[in-house]
Each structure stands twice: as structure tokens, then as C-alpha cells.
Chain A
Amino acid sequence: MINRTSIIKQPDKISFFYDVYKLQKKYQDSLISGKSNINFIWLGEHQLCYTLGRGSNMGNLLFSADEQDVFKIDRGGEVTCHMPGQLVTYLVLDLSNFNKDLNWYLRKIEKIIIKTLRSFNIDCSTKDGFTGVWIGERKIASIGIGCKRWVTIHGFSINVNCKLENFNKIVPCGIEGCRMVNMSDYNKNVEIKEVKKIVKKIIHEEFKFNFV
């Protein structure tokens, strides 16, 4: 039987990356072991931290690794950076109940981001071969996914009104000269609270969840 029940957590306070990571792992493990069939979605913000995908190159960290909170984690993609003012969304989903296709899943996530930004009148697009969402040559949202037995972990982050200087310490996504932008650069009054609401709504439309 297809189960699309999901728990959604959206704390207002800034969360530690590692706490949320453990929470995701817990839901992923329960889905994998069959202990539960509840999907899990988390929307929130992190303290400043840097995360590295499994295939990432330490050379893309432009500072010594012990200087900041740096986490090497089980997702695809290169190095990225999280901080307050950036909306992070994690989806722990059992793709067996949707479509066992990671390409489909990545495109679905891009679609969610694009629909979100468009509802704030921000025109953006995808770029072939460069997963993520772009405004021209500038990157506004990053994606990184891990998957085990078709149960996903991690997700995407949208720069809403964060301190983009923090990206200067890394080569974002391993793309040299990649420039990041904020939603607030295009829509001054944007608030993370509002973005959160829209992301939640669109996730619901796209994945047809029963949120509980």
C-alpha cells in the first residue's frame, strides 16, 4: 500500500546542524529497517557551518578545517555552507512510495524551488548539468541528496537573506567563480517565515503528502 504520510518539523529557532542530522538519520533508519513508514520533512535554519558531500575535495574549503564547524556527510555534491537567513529543507522520503528514480527526484526538488521563488516574483531556472537553481549565472539554491535503499536524506537550501560573505570561504558546489545570491536581492521584503510556508505548501502539492 502506498504510504505518503509525513511528519513535518519547522522549528522557529536556529538549529544545530548535527542535531538535525541525527534526527534525519533516525527517521531514515526507521524507514530502511521497516520499523516505520513515516516520511520526515524538516524546514529551518542552521548556525554557520560548512558541510562536505562524500565526493568533495578538501581543496574547496578555503580555510583550515578545524576553524569552523565542518561536517563531512553522506550526500552527493560538493562543499556548501549553512547559516541563519538561509532556509534549509530536508526530506527523508521512501522513494519506493513515489518513484525509484533519483534523477526524477532531483528534478522534482528543482521544480519545488522554482515554484517557490516564482511565487515571490523571482524568475529563475535550472541549468543543464549544474543541479541547483540559478538566476542567470548566479546561484540561489543548492541541492544535495543522500539515499539508502531508496530512502532519501538531506535536501536543499535557499538563500533568503543570509550573509553571502560566508560563501567566500569556500568554492560553492566545487564550481570556481560561482556567485551566490539572496532572494532579498530581488524581493526586498521577503521573510524566511513566508518562504517556509510556501515551500511547505509546494512540497505538499508536488509529493501529495498527508501531513500529520
Chain B
Amino acid sequence: MSHEIFMPALSSTMTEGKIVEWLKNPGDKVERGESVLVVESDKADMDVESFQDGYLAAVLMPAGSTAPVGETIGLIVENQDEIASIQEQNKVKQIEVSSDAQLELPNNKSEIKEEMQKDVPQNNEQEVEIKREKVLITSNEIQFNASTSNNSSRLIASPRAKKLASTMGVELAKVRGSGPHGRIQADDVLKANGQPVSIPWIGEGSSSSSIGSPHIQAESKSEILGNSFGNPGETVQFNTLQKAVNKNMESSLNVPCFRVGYSINTDKLDNFYKKVKQNGVTMTALLVKAVAKTLKKHPQVNSSFSENGISYPENINIAVAVAMEDGGLITPVLKEPCNTDLFELSREWKDLVKRSRAKQLEPDEYSTGTFTLSNLGMFGVDRFDAILPPGTGAILAIASSKPTVVANNDGSISVKKIMQVNLTADHRVIYGADGASFLKDLSSLIENEPETLVA
């Protein structure tokens, strides 16, 4: 079965469009959403995409030619073995077209059509007849639809309507046309099929339905709740990742750590998050950004112990712990969050999470963190403390933000969303006062100006 590619309407006033370039040749494989050709309107170019996987079987209008809006300009088939027959059919058409001097120039074609329509009595049936005889590409298209709808030769329908009718299984004969002379439009077919009328001209191949869901997957780890790697009575060997984590955790026993906690009001942050969430921003990216910005002011908290003294890294790279389904955890790194805008950072984070789950991270994507975040907020925990990863000076444990009754400075009482964070730090390089003033500034940033986290 073949599917038509139509000349799209690039603007409401456009009656015909020029084909600048075919990006695919007949016989080429095309994927849904892939650009097949370029149509030009003035100084604007529009890529026309394929609405399904298949093969470009025929180019009905060559590059450089002009075709009326809605005209079939190419054909796509689902299977490779259909190409030959479509091309064969089409060769015949092309010969016919070129034998007719008037129809050779596509520019003339629409004029001819107009002239004819003037001469013809307002009779639908006859109009179809004329189109069949003279405008070969239109007749071509009627032929294709004839196989799907018995009565279509007596009906006038837009190419788009025909395509919809054939894909939806709507019988065109039963559709009432709302166009000129009762021409059946795409909307009519949709109505007949009981669907809301909303059709994009181009780009049906949108895959945007998944917005948000990868994010939810990335942020919510509910699937690991109650996880167990073995059955009761068994002893299961550690996997490689678990062994690596064990080694890191044990090495922390040689580090003199202290903890310092803070309660942060997240009302403003939550409001801001609601606004930017629709733009793909994740809470992790927001927190990473806030921590990175605060670390910039507190380089001491970004430092680490080395044999030669306190080591201050050149960059601020935030590692974020991600639990793996099959055991162990990995800490993908968001590099230099201060230099990346929030939206880009959110995209990077989603990509990192996806690739960590698929075990596709490069070593520098999980081993270059200078500060670590561990967030268990999604489980509703009040507070927890984290173990310091080797080679870094501090890790921040982030708990859930919960509505809490708060006594204000003026003695009044209110309910605010409060999130507890808990910093674990290596006391050889970071002292209590360093950690505390870092947390104070982090809290102030989150409580008062979360909107500055955008840039």
C-alpha cells in the first residue's frame, strides 16, 4: 500500500509551493519523522517529513518544480518490494505527462485547472472526469484511493481526506463534504469518524507523548522499594558494581567525618518548580544548580583531602547518587552546573540517568564529581545521613519536603513545606563553620530566590 506526500501549506495565503530539494531519492529508506524534502516559501524553507517508516517509492514532482497546496508530490510504500510496481506505474504516468506539452510545466498546471473549472458546468461528476483525463497526477491519486473506497470516483475529496479515510477505515461515500461543491475535507472525515478536529498539516510523526514520563522514571525509584537480590536462605555474590561500592564505603571508615543539618523552607522552590516543570526541568537539576551556585561561594566545601594538603578542584562537578535496579549505585556527574542553564542541565541529567541504567556511562561521567548529592526525598524520608565517597570532601543528603507547623519569629504559627538536608564532610579539610555557612547560604538561595537558578 502506498502513502502520499502532499505539498504542505506553509502559510494561510499560500496556494502553491516550490520544491527546493528532495533529501531522499526514490528507493531510499525513510523513517517516520525523517525529512524527505524541502519546500520553499519566500525566504523560509520547510522540511517535509515522512509520517511513517517505509521507502520513498516515487517522486512525482522534481526539485525546482511548483505544486499546488495539497497536491501529491511523492509516494511512500511500506515494503521494499512494492517500490518496483509503484515506479513502474509511475513511469507510465511520467511518459504521459511529458507527452502532453501543456502539463510538462507544473506551473501551468494550476492555471489549466482553473481554466477548466471555469468552462465546466458546476457538476461534481464532470469535474472528476476532467481531472482524470487531464491532470494525471490527480488521477493517479484517485486510482490509489479507488482500491480503498468503491465509490470514490464519484466523490470529490481532498487528498488528505482520502488518506485519512483510508487509514481510519471511513467510507468516503458516507461522509458529507463541507468544502466547495461538497468537496470532502480532512475535517469531515475526522468528524465522521467521531474524532476531534485537529490535524497538523505536517509532522504527524511527533513522539512527544512521552514528555514527563522519563522524568518520573528517573526521579522516582519506587521500583527498588523492597528490592531483594536473592531468595531467603541464599547468599548471593556481590556483583562488580556492589563490590566497587563496598570498597568505597569501607574507605570512608578512615575519614573523620562530621554531620551538620539544616531545615529549608521550599514553598518558593516548589512554586518555581511547578512553573518550569512543564519545560522539562527536574527537581534534581534544580537542587544541583542550587548546590553548585552555593559551592561557588564556598570553595572550601568543594575541596578534598590529599597527602599534600587541601586540594581545591578546578571545577565544580556535582555527582548525584542513582540506585541501580540490579544492585549497587552509580554517581553520574553533572559537570560545571554553574555554566549550564537549568533546561540544558535537566536534559543532561535525564540523559545521564538513562545511560547509567543502560550501563553506558564513560568513566569521566561518573568519577569526576567534586561534591555529591544523595536525594531520598521521593520516598518521604524525614532525614538521613550519607557516607562520604572517597576523593571528595562532602556529600549532601536531601530528605523529603513536608508540610510542617512552623513557629515564626513574630510568634505566629504557620504551615510551611520544610526539607531537611544533612551535610557529611571530611573534618580534615572542612570544618563545622564551613559546612554551616554553606548550608545557610544554600537555604537562603532556595528559600528566597529560586528563580535565579535558571541561568
Instruction: Show the binding face of A for B, using Cβ within 8 Å.
Output: 1, 3, 5, 7, 30, 32-38, 53-55, 74-77, 96, 100-106, 131-132, 143-150, 212
Contacts and interface: CB of A to CB of B under 8 A. Distances in A.
A34 B454 CA distance: 20
| Ranked 5 nearest A-B pairs via Cβ | A34-B208, A103-B11, A149-B203, A76-B45, A145-B44
B231 interface: no
Given A144-B43, A145-B45, A148-B47, A102 B11 contact: yes
Contacts, number: 114
B206 A7 contact: no
Contact of B46 (A5, A36, A102): A102
Categorize the interface residue count of chain B: 35 or more
Contacts of B20: 54-55, 76
A52 to B, nearest CB: 12
Given A104-B11, A148-B35, A212-B454, A36 B280 contact: yes
B247 to A, nearest CB: 37
Contacts of B203: 32, 148-150
Contact of B43 (A34, A101, A106): A106
Contact of B202 (A55, A103, A144, A149): A149
B12 A1 contact: no
Contacts of A74: 38, 45, 47
Contact of A7 (B13, B41, B343): B343
Interface string B1-39: 000000000111110000011000000000001010010
B125 interface: no
B12 A101 contact: yes
B43 A77 contact: yes
A149 B341 contact: no
A101 B20 CA distance: 18
A101 B11 contact: yes
Contact of B44 (A36, A38, A147): A147
B407 interface: no
Q: Which of A34, A74, A102 has the most CB of B within 10 A?
A: A102
A74 B37 CA distance: 11
Contacts of B200: 96, 100, 150
Interface string B184-220: 0000000000000000111100111111000000000
Interface string B246-281: 000000000000000000000000000000101110
Nearest to B279: A38
B278 A3 contact: yes
Nearest to A146: B45
A30 B278 CA distance: 14
Given A33-B207, A149-B202, A106 B42 contact: yes
B82 interface: no
B440 interface: no
Contacts of B276: 212
B40 interface: yes
B47 A36 contact: no
Given A55-B20, A148-B49, A34 B38 contact: no
Contact of B280 (A37, A76, A106): A37
Contacts of A144: 43
Contacts of A145: 43-45
Nearest to A153: B45
A75 B33 CA distance: 19
A212 B453 CA distance: 10
Contacts of B10: 101-103, 147
Given A75-B44, A148-B203, A149-B203, 10 more contacts: A3-B278, A36-B347, A54-B38, A55-B40, A74-B45, A75-B45, A76-B44, A103-B42, A146-B45, A149-B206
Given A101-B12, A148-B35, A149-B202, A34 B210 contact: yes
B446 to A, nearest CB: 18
29 contacts: A34-B206, A34-B211, A36-B279, A36-B343, A38-B343, A55-B45, A74-B47, A75-B44, A75-B45, A76-B40, A77-B43, A96-B200, A102-B11, A103-B14, A103-B44, A105-B44, A106-B42, A106-B43, A106-B44, A131-B42, A145-B44, A146-B46, A146-B47, A147-B47, A148-B35, A148-B47, A149-B33, A149-B202, A149-B203
Contacts of A103: 10-14, 41-42, 44
A34 B207 contact: yes
A53 B43 CA distance: 9
Contacts of B209: 34
Contacts of A147: 10, 44-47
Contacts of B45: 53-55, 74-76, 145-147
Nearest to B276: A212
Nearest to B454: A212
A60 to B, nearest CB: 15
Contacts of B47: 74, 146-149
A106 B203 CA distance: 21
A34 B347 CA distance: 12
